[in-house]
Chain A
Amino acid sequence: MDLNFTPEEEAFREEVRTFLKDNLSEDLATKVRNGRELNKQDIESWHALLQTRSWLAATWPEEYGGPGWNAVQRHIFEEECAFANAPRIVPFGLGMLGPVLIKFGTEEQKKTILPRILSGEDWWCQGYSEPGAGSDLASLKTRAVRDGDDYIINGQKTWTTLGQFADKIFCLVRTSTEGKPQQGISFVLVDLKTPGIEMRPIKLIEGGYEVNEVFFTDVRVPVSNRVGEENQGWTIAKYLLGHERTNIAGVGASTEALNQLKALGRKVKRYGKPLAADPLFAARVAEVEIDLEAMRMTNLRMLFGTSDAQGSVSSMLKIKGTVIRQEINDLARRALGPAASPFPSEDVIGNYGIAPPEAAANAANYFNNRKLSIFGGSNEIQRNIIAKETFGA
């Protein structure tokens, strides 16, 4: 066994680190570090900056404008981005639709859609879940009925992340009610400007807006917007969910969050001493550190074993990774004591200084990150996947 990265990998890490140091603005990094909501322009400008090096679409091969990285390089890149407090790359076009089109799309679809994802001309969002189809995604009911060269779509999608910024949406729709529910689903691309679409924001527990409901009323979409064969959408959906899970453990982001937690512990005082000197706090931080260390190894074992996340390993990483991140958020909230209570607003953070600015949103982030164990296949569903593999039924 050799647990070291190769000199080439270390050199790559250095290259990424230098790029981030030279190009990520302090303003943007501060916003990310402080857990503030990013606006559309923040994200778009960061995407554009990465694309100057062709680093934006980490999973794409070079022929389509990606960097052609292997899994280890992607891991190093994601880790360095997290350490630098770079904004997370919005995955819907780059990490989800892109790989789907590269594998299942027609030449025409690849030629017209992929460059617009890279250039930022098209912001994509995801139309998967419905009010009645969450964990049981295959029960989705949004109908697409064939009418000549068009589909006519009726129904409702929900939990569409950052739909408020999007130009287009990729959807799972029902094209047949024959056979098993999984057999009648198709994967369709829809321009959000098409008549009959309404996007409504959903306010989240902590007061932020990042998800939406999308209503479709007689929305007419050309059949050529379908990806893959009719009624074969479930295969694509499963492939896409696999991609969604490659960085699901979020080891880099949790490592950075843990470092910030320790810094906060040194900054705030409790009983006349820094909180970090309190054994009850220090013990809990040490426990998370141990869990995270093990998680880092589990993640690397998976990375070096296979090139793509698969089956129950990625489910395990999802469960453990989200639990660790939530525990760090929990400690970061508690570290503030009563100062965690104020509703975070620019006004309160700017003028009142109740908590250190980088920690003022800690309670809000704790509440918001309860989503981690719910979305992308809830942790209960991940357990079902592992159980199915374990027991073979």
Chain B
Amino acid sequence: MDFTPTDDRRMIADSLRRFLSDTYPIEHRNKVAYDGAFHDPDGWAGLAELGIMGALVSEDDGGFGGAGFDITTVFEEMGRKICPEPLLANLMALRLYAAFGKSERIEAIVAGSERAAFAFDESDSFGDLGEISTTFEGGKLTGRKTVVYGGQAADWILVAAKSGGKLGLYEVKASDAEVLAYPMIDGGGAAEIVLDGTPSECIAEEATDAIEAALDAGRLALCAEAVGAMDVLKEMTRDYLMQRQQFGRPIALFQALQHRLVDFSIEIEQARSIVIHAGGKFETEERALAVAKAKNLIGRAGKLVAEEAVQMHGGIGMTWEYAGSHYAKRLIMIDHQLGDTEDQLRKVMALTDISSAA
């Protein structure tokens, strides 16, 4: 075994970390996260220049990475700066375009000249593709997609919809759809996509497997993002405990607080390990189970770290001005994306089924 990242991935991580540190200091990050288009075109161009989108697709499909560990490398860095750019949306779109050989779109997204988003959730279909009710008929889509990440800044919307009882994938030009944009509570943008006989192109009549794979790529990315954010929040909390004086000494000297920081540090190591496990299994048949395990543990660890960090900071941790509060929000809200701890638990229970003897 060798847990050392490859040189290529280390270079990507280093250059991305430098770029994000220069480009998204917390004040600018918050401005991008909550104002305007909830996305910074210059920042996006910079990410493309670094080859970040290309790292999310395999060489065969027009990129130069695309493995589970490429995804985790990129998103851990995104998490360290809680970067609000719609990279998750474009990761899922890239995977879907790649699954159906749409090289023209991949090229444009990798170059940074176009952006896409993947619209799958509906109000009554969270966590369950079977409940999707948006339909494709005669070249047109009708339905409403909710909380479409990156939908506010996309040129193309990939839509999961039903036609003739099959779950297919359809593409809509964003300007042809009604796009209701808004910021999310943890920053970054999303949109409601209202489709009312909207002209669209059929990418695949049957796309269930490709959609599940793209969602798993998204889940793996969110897990790695959480690990990056947890690492930083832990450092901030440690620094704060050492610097904050009460009762005539740094509060880091109180054993009760030391133990709590240690407890959440242990969970962060567990989180890092389960993400490495999922990254390693990403190209195997065990992908779905490994990713579900990772996202369940990440959901639990993220909540512990976020809540304990805020609590140990006291009032300061409750303020907008303090960067740590934004990390805490991001960690909590990651659990709301692409299936929460309970959804993952259901999946792990179904896939492992302990009631039937091995």
A residues with a Cβ closer than 8 A to B are 129, 132, 134-136, 139, 158-159, 202-207, 211, 269-272, 278, 280-281, 330, 333-334, 336-345, 347-348, 351-352, 354, 363-364, 366-367, 370-371, 373-375, 378-380, 383
Contacts and interface: CB of A to CB of B under 8 A. Distances in A.
A206 B127 CA distance: 26
Interface string B320-343: 110001001100110111001010
Contacts of A135: 246-247, 314
Contact of A338 (B128, B130, B147, B320): B147
B256 interface: yes
Interface of B: 34, 121, 123-124, 126-128, 130-131, 146-147, 180, 182-186, 190, 192, 245-248, 256-257, 303, 307, 310-311, 314-315, 317-321, 325, 328-329, 332-333, 335-337, 340, 342, 345-346
B315 A158 contact: yes
Given A204-B320, A378-B314, A354 B147 contact: yes
B315 A354 contact: no
- Ranked nearest first, the 9 interchain pairs of A and B with the lowest CB-CB distance are A203-B320, A136-B246, A337-B126, A205-B325, A338-B147, A341-B184, A343-B183, A269-B124, A280-B342
22 contacts: A135-B246, A158-B315, A159-B315, A205-B317, A205-B329, A211-B315, A269-B124, A270-B128, A280-B342, A280-B345, A280-B346, A334-B342, A337-B127, A337-B340, A340-B333, A341-B147, A342-B182, A342-B190, A344-B185, A370-B317, A371-B318, A374-B310
Contacts, number: 140
Given A269-B124, A344-B185, 11 more contacts: A134-B315, A139-B246, A203-B321, A271-B127, A333-B336, A336-B336, A338-B126, A338-B337, A347-B182, A370-B310, A370-B318
Given A205-B310, A280-B346, A351-B180, A341 B128 contact: no
Nearest to B186: A341
A130 B213 CA distance: 52
Given A271-B131, A351-B180, A363-B333, A343 B246 contact: no
A338 B246 CA distance: 40
A129 B314 CA distance: 12
B329 A375 contact: no
B319 A203 contact: yes
B182 A134 contact: no
Contacts of A383: 256
A159 B247 CA distance: 19
A205 B340 CA distance: 22
Nearest to B320: A203
Contacts of B329: 205, 367
A261 to B, nearest CB: 15
B177 to A, nearest CB: 14
Given A334-B340, A352-B192, A345 B182 contact: yes
Contacts of A338: 121, 126, 146-147, 336-337
B237 to A, nearest CB: 14
A343 B184 contact: yes
A318 B214 CA distance: 46
Contacts of B336: 333-334, 336-338, 340-341, 363
Nearest to B130: A272
A285 to B, nearest CB: 12
A341 B188 CA distance: 10
Given A134-B246, A205-B325, A341 B315 contact: no
Contacts of A354: 123, 146-147, 192
Nearest to B313: A374
Contacts of B342: 278, 280-281, 334
B337 A341 contact: yes
